[in-house]
Amino acid sequence: MNKFEITYEGNLRTKAVHLESGSSLDTDAPKDNQGLGEKFSPTDLVCASLASCMLTIMGIAMQKYNIDLKGTTASVKKTMGTEPRMISQIDIIVNFPTSYDDKIKIILERAANNCPVHKSLSNQIEKNIKFIYN
């Protein structure tokens, strides 16, 4: 079980510390919600977590095929809704630096769509995921 400590640092900013490793990250409220938008917002991190989780789970799935996904990227666009203010849509484009056969593509896409973060997000959030194989 991972543990974190989050401190409110004032001016709509927080610092989150991963207690086991000591690594940290900072957040800032977005410009459209009274912040400066100089760092990831908490909702940005939700979207970044989804993309990071997808890439990680795909990497795990490819280990048994000796396929290294190094260089694979995910571009993320977040759309916020109003009333209630929440993430309404996440668009992700996963770009692989190489192409794979159909069997591997199916495994990759299933892995991505079944990552723990994807499964944890509300069905009220529209998730559009596109895979591009070069």
Confidence (pLDDT) at 89: 99
Which residues 6+ apart lie within 8 Å of 40 measured at CB? 25, 26, 27, 28, 48
| Structural domains of the chain, ranges and CATH numbers in brackets | 4-33 (no CATH), 42-133 (3.30.300.20)
pLDDT tens figures, 78-134: 999 999 999 999 999 999 999 999 999 999 999 999 999 999 999 999 999 999 999
Give the mean pLDDT of 35-55: 98
CA atoms of 19 and 58, how far apart (whole Å): 26
pLDDT tens figures, 11-20: 999 999 999 9
Confidence (pLDDT) at 80: 97
78 touches 47 (CB < 8 A): yes
Q: Is the pLDDT of residue 1 over 90?
A: no
Looking only at the bridges linking them, the beta strands covering 73-81 and 86-96 are antiparallel
pLDDT tens figures, 24-42: 999 999 999 999 999 999 9
